[in-house]
Structure 1
Amino acid sequence: MAVNFTEENIRELRFRLEDAAIKSSERCLYQSAKWAAEMLDSLIPLNDYDTDPDSPMDITETPAGPQNPYLAVQDPLEASLESKEAYKYLLAKSYFDTREYDRCAAVFLPPTISPISLSTTSPNPKSRHSLTPQKGKTKAPQFTAGKDGSVTRNPYPKLSQKSLFLALYAKYLAGEKRKDEETEMVLGPADGGMTVNRELPDLARGLDGWFTERDEQGLADRGQGWLEYLYGVILLKGRNEAEAKKWLIRSVHLNPFHWGAWQELNDLLASTEDLKQIVDDLPQNIMTLIFHVHCSQELYQATEDTYQSLSELETIFPTSAFLKTQKALLYYHSKDFEEASHIFTDILISSPHRLDSLDHYSNILYVMGARPQLAFIAQVATATDKFRPETCCVVGNYYSLKSEHEKAVMYFRRALTLDRNFLSAWTLMGHEYIEMKNTHAAIESYRRAVDVNRKDYRAWYGLGQAYEVLDMSFYALFYYQRAAALRPYDPKMWQAVGSCYAKMGRIEQSIKALKRALVAGSYYAEDASQIGGAGRKILDPETLHQIATLYERLGDEEEAAAYMELTLQQETGHVAPEDDYTSSDNENDDEQSNAGTETKGRSRRGQQSFGTSNEEEEEPMYGTGVTATTSKARLWLARWALRHGDLERADQLAGELCQDGVEVEEAKALMRDVRARREGG
């Protein structure tokens, strides 16, 4: 989607973002208001190229806030209702701002006793069935009877959409607050699916009735997008994803500059296929382009198209910290940690109190082993706000890098106490429990992570690692395959899949998976070259040696020898013809065929050791040099040559082993055997 870049477009964009910031703030959607205001502030100035900054300007030429044509309420009925409710709305909003959510809702809606269980035991299992709101119109809505015995679908009094949204949003947050209070400690006995937001069923029924009545009155196209958004959120919480997607798409059509609706829609997309399916249903404007870039980053699509779209947006929002963060995360997913670190450093210099996405920056510094920088940003974050989830994750990463895993877990728990849906903390806490050998706690942490976000490859991979530690290879294989499906071009995922197959005795499938790891390594190198990497071909000697060993277990010594030769060639950087290792790319069995979806791969742990020792180029060629793996291959080939009567080759390889200082005794014994055969022959 190309961006039409004209002065009129910029002026309209300024009005739209101003309108979104004001209206989001009025409805207490503070994160969306902040996003719109930051994008508005980063917007390129009008007449940027032909105006001298020091020249006097006519202030009246610049449209002021009240002149914004998008700030006026378009619907006269809504304007009349809002005018009548103005004082009440101020009262309700003041209650909301002081976190008195029930009191806020009661300003506009009849007050009710909060639906909270007074017993300390787990809630009645039957109450869990009411968690899921009705799926669209398939179930008969539970209507309330009116005084005259008639059935009333809409349970709410006649209110403006603005007031109704604030009241229902306050009810929703009151339920979330009570749910968190009932849950108590992180990973405690009540944490998980046992506690639910008890307001959801009533909210779902009420909104369904309200929208049904609007449809019957022919007012469906006069919505403002806010209540549609809230209904989508409630349906999403009730696991009714198909209906939630429909209402969120409707919301972004009615109110495209409300970023919160786009974020909720992004959470519904588990793969690039999901994104492609809804593209045609979205409005065609700049917000859809921003959404597409954000989704591509969330799905780890560091493609040329993504970078091109991001560059176009940066010409319009040249100082946007949000867009810079998206670019940094794209580099991070492509394992270009240096470039990602530079971008985050620039953001921190220009906005030292900005904590958004700082947990990702700490992950990058952790992988790079940059302890002084990590300590510095931990101090900066703590000085800014000690009780933000991002700050707790940064400090947790710092302690993890110091191998103080108990302290790290304490800070990740603190982050989750502040926000139960903070994905980074669940995943990182799982990593810490793995380090502490507390496998069961790690599994529970990773499970919560994938509940929050199914696209988190690190959590799927972590689950695989945890079950592999427990020697439950079948489970480990399932989770590794999920991780590989999320990031098919990450060799580490396929190496893990291959290792599991080998443990289960499924040798042929293990070979296919390991060959796929070699192919993934090649794609990985090409992707790196597109974003400033050296463009090296990567062939991992360890993977090649594993394939050779598996062929030996199958009794196919010719193939085993071929892959041992290929392993040996990595010392000097010679790359074998691609046909030798890519032929199996289309041979995946049914269990691996679902891995064609591009998304994310690889655990944060173990990233530091990958992508250095096994890289080589074609011009000039850089090999790995002598390694323990290549020496094993040399010894195997020497024995194989001796068995097949190639004494010259066996003597040469054994001599090289003596020079390398690896397997020297074995090499000397081989040379003695060669000499004895020559003398005897």
Structure 2
Amino acid sequence: MSLNETEIAELRAELQKAIVQCSERCLYQAAKWAAELLNSIPELPSSNANATPVVVLINADPDEAALEAQEISKYLLAKSFFDCREYDRCAAVFLPDSVLTGILATNDLTSGGPSSGKGKAKATADSNGAALPIISQKSLFLALYAKIMSGEKKKDEDTEMVMGPQDNGVIINKQLLSVSRFLEKWFQGHLNEEGEYPESQGWLEYGMVFAKQKNETQAMKWFIESVHRAPMNWGCWLEMTSLISRIEEFNEVVTQLPQNIMSFMFQLHAHLELYQTGEGLQASLQGLLEIFPTSSFLLTCNALLAYHSKDFVNAEQCFSHLLALHPHRLDALDHYSNILHVMAYRPKLAFLAHLCSSIDKFRPESCVVIGNYYSLLSMHEKAVQYFRRALTLDRSCLSAWTLMGHEYVELKNTHAAIESYRRAVDINRKDYRAWYGLGQTYEVLEMHSYALWYYKKAAGLRPWDNKMWMAVGSCLQKMGRDRDGIKALKRALLADYNSAGSAGESGQPQLDPEILLQIANMYERLGEDEEAKGYMEMCVAQEDGGALGGDGTNLGESMAVHSQSADDSDDEDQGANEGTGVTAATSKARMWLAKFAMREGEHQTAYRLATELCQDGVEVEEAKALIREARSHMDEVKTWPPG
């Protein structure tokens, strides 16, 4: 993807405009995101000569511009109150409680839809004669947003201690109802005969009210309307992403979006939130990086793409590069700490924890990083303390809820673990780690029906993650549903094979011996010994890197396709696969095959397998007994051949 100089200049101007507009409305995170993106565009030699910096924006609507000029002093006062976090004072500048109460009191009396008409006159009164204040949309947004923030602040104040006896997680924002009624009245007053709002500039649609009230259908409708009118507001795109839980919902939403670079970034971000990976996504990301080569947001997306693909080495390198470019940026470093924790890179995680603490120890991300460090040291109580601190700072910190659940599992506190995972799911239904954690916890409690339901939710979110299907299969096995368990574990094998086959130079196609052993054992319980034998042979074959081993059957048509492609690969690649070596699973499979060979009268095969077991150093005594028995039979046959 490439843009010419004129397009880059237009993009730079739009981003400058977005920064000012978001800052004027106190949408600080959206303004920061746009500013970072703006500064990641490389400077062109001719750009300085034609630069026209944006400091003050004049509204294109003359009526709105006149209102903004008239109320500039009040607006500056209100914004200063908001900046000082005096939200009620900010809202009262334009919407005093007495005025707001009087307007909203008539809302319940409104029975029908708005009468036809349009224009500013319609904005001053509704069908019951209740006057609406005549203020600009910018000031109105600031006042209503201050009301929402005031409600959030009081909500946090009324909330009990994290995971305390009274912390039920159901405290609501009491300002949402009044804000939603006011917005409804305002939009009714600006509705034209065609059912549209021609005077709206897109910011009031981004009210977040319906989203916070869990009315997701209405929220998505207004967010889509908002991005059509104010496309550079990244906060609105983020809210839309949080409402999408399945790829089908995403595909439906995409058809209704404007076609611009913000929509392109939204699609990239939404795919990552839905754990979608693939070459197409990587190509889209690289195209955007050509325009914004140092964008912290896009570099983070690049690292997360590798993380979701389980390419931890590449993900760690991407985050390390990002940290070198932006050493004081704490955003998304909790994901980096997760990667370092999985890879057991204790020195790097210690450095990251120290860095975060020195920058801002009271940021939720810093607390999560430090908590992960203590978790790696197996200091689980200390880790829980820091995850609690992160949640005290931000109750919506998803990483902290999920990771705290993991720590409670380690501490054998299953009740607290379940509650932590449930809170994570309430915040983000796409968090497969929380669903998987719930399944694990219920499995520990031997409540396999509950565990199976949660494992299936996790597998639905990560259909190509073999770990999810292994959990489903193992749970079905414990419930005595061997036939269904075999299907789930074959799905895990297919996912594992597909993932390894696409690993390129980092890894050759390889199957998990543990999964093969479990499938074989379930076939044995079903009395299908030949099927069990085939999978036992495949399990042993993984020691030398044989992807299928044995006769290579019983994996279904999909596996056959992958097998054929693997057989057609270069000899060099085949030789590069060193296999798993001797593992507990392959040794158990070899023992089973040796005993099976004895039962079938194949004494030489049993002797060879038992000898290999002695060399492996696994179950040596039992293997020696098999050797003696096999040798005895072979000697007997040699001495008294059948006549």
Q: TM-score, with normalisation over the residues of structure 1?
A: 0.85
Correspondence for 1:181: 157
CA distance in 1, matches of 2:431, 2:598: 50
Give the letter for the 1:182 counterpart.
Answer: D
2:507 touches 2:577 (CA, 8 Å); kept in 1? no
Deviation at 1:183, TM superposition (A): 0.8
CA distance in 2, matches of 1:195, 1:153: 35
Matches within 5 A, 1:189-588: 189-216=165-192, 220-230=197-207, 233-529=208-504, 533-576=505-548, 580-583=553-556
Deviation at 1:448, TM superposition (A): 0.5
Distance 1:666 1:248, change over 3 A: same
Correspondence for 2:68: 82
The answer to which of 359-368 and 652-661 deviates more is 652-661
CA distance in 2, matches of 1:331, 1:13: 29
| CA offsets 1:458-501 (integer angstroms, 9 cap, x no match) | 10000001101111000000111111111111111111000110
CA distance in 1, matches of 2:96, 2:420: 40
> Number of residues paired by the alignment?
608
1:400 touches 1:408 (CA, 8 Å); kept in 2? yes
Alignment pair present for 1:64 and 2:53: yes
The answer to which of 520-529 and 105-114 deviates more is 105-114
CA distance in 2, matches of 1:112, 1:457: 47
CA distance in 1, matches of 2:180, 2:423: 25
Q: Indicate which of 3, 6, 9 corresponds to 2:7.
A: 9
Name the % identity.
55
| CA offsets 1:114-166 (integer angstroms, 9 cap, x no match) | 99xxxxxxxxxxxxxxxxx99xxx997999xxxxx984487641111001100
Secondary structure, aligned partner of 1:329: helix
Deviation at 1:524, TM superposition (A): 1.3
Q: Which has the higher contact order (CA 8 A, sep 6+)?
A: 1
Give the letter for the 1:220 counterpart.
Answer: Y
Deviation at 1:621, TM superposition (A): 3.0
Q: Indicate which of 585, 608, 616 corresponds to 1:629.
A: 585
Q: Indicate which of 629, 654, 677 corresponds to 2:610.
A: 654
Deviation at 1:247, TM superposition (A): 0.4
| CA offsets 1:560-582 (integer angstroms, 9 cap, x no match) | 11111111111111122797353
Correspondence for 2:568: none
Q: Indicate which of 18, 22, 33 corresponds to 1:24.
A: 22
1:11 touches 1:46 (CA, 8 Å); kept in 2? no
Deviation at 1:92, TM superposition (A): 0.7
Distance 1:153 1:380, change over 3 A: farther
Distance 1:265 1:150, change over 3 A: closer
Q: TM-score, with normalisation over the residues of structure 2?
A: 0.90
CA distance in 2, matches of 1:454, 1:520: 23
Distance 1:269 1:579, change over 3 A: farther
1:10 touches 1:46 (CA, 8 Å); kept in 2? no
Give the letter for the 1:16 counterpart.
Answer: E
CA distance in 2, matches of 1:667, 1:64: 81
Structure 1 gap segments, 5+ residues each: 52-56, 116-132, 144-148, 587-615
CA distance in 2, matches of 1:256, 1:477: 42
1:537 touches 1:618 (CA, 8 Å); kept in 2? no
Distance 1:585 1:244, change over 3 A: farther
CA distance in 2, matches of 1:502, 1:113: 65
Correspondence for 1:597: none
Correspondence for 1:110: 96
Distance 1:155 1:174, change over 3 A: farther
CA distance in 2, matches of 1:84, 1:427: 50
2:486 touches 2:522 (CA, 8 Å); kept in 1? yes
Secondary structure, aligned partner of 1:215: coil
Deviation at 1:184, TM superposition (A): 2.3
Runs of 4+ that moved beyond 6 A? 138-143
CA distance in 2, matches of 1:153, 1:661: 90
Deviation at 1:380, TM superposition (A): 1.1
Alignment pair present for 1:644 and 2:642: no
1:257 touches 1:287 (CA, 8 Å); kept in 2? yes
Distance 1:157 1:654, change over 3 A: same
1:515 touches 1:581 (CA, 8 Å); kept in 2? no
Deviation at 1:61, TM superposition (A): 2.8
Deviation at 1:303, TM superposition (A): 0.9
CA distance in 2, matches of 1:336, 1:422: 25
1:641 touches 1:647 (CA, 8 Å); kept in 2? yes
Secondary structure, aligned partner of 2:258: coil
Distance 1:89 1:113, change over 3 A: closer
| CA offsets 1:282-324 (integer angstroms, 9 cap, x no match) | 1101111111111111112221111111111111111111110
Deviation at 1:113, TM superposition (A): 11
Give the letter for the 2:274 counterpart.
Answer: L
Give the letter for the 2:3 counterpart.
Answer: F
Q: Indicate which of 672, 675, 678 corresponds to 2:628.
A: 672
CA distance in 1, matches of 2:112, 2:309: 49
Secondary structure, aligned partner of 2:543: coil
Secondary structure, aligned partner of 1:228: coil
The answer to which of 656-665 and 327-336 deviates more is 656-665
Deviation at 1:72, TM superposition (A): 2.8
1:515 touches 1:584 (CA, 8 Å); kept in 2? no
Give the letter for the 2:67 counterpart.
Answer: L
CA distance in 1, matches of 2:289, 2:111: 47
Secondary structure, aligned partner of 1:62: coil
Correspondence for 1:125: none
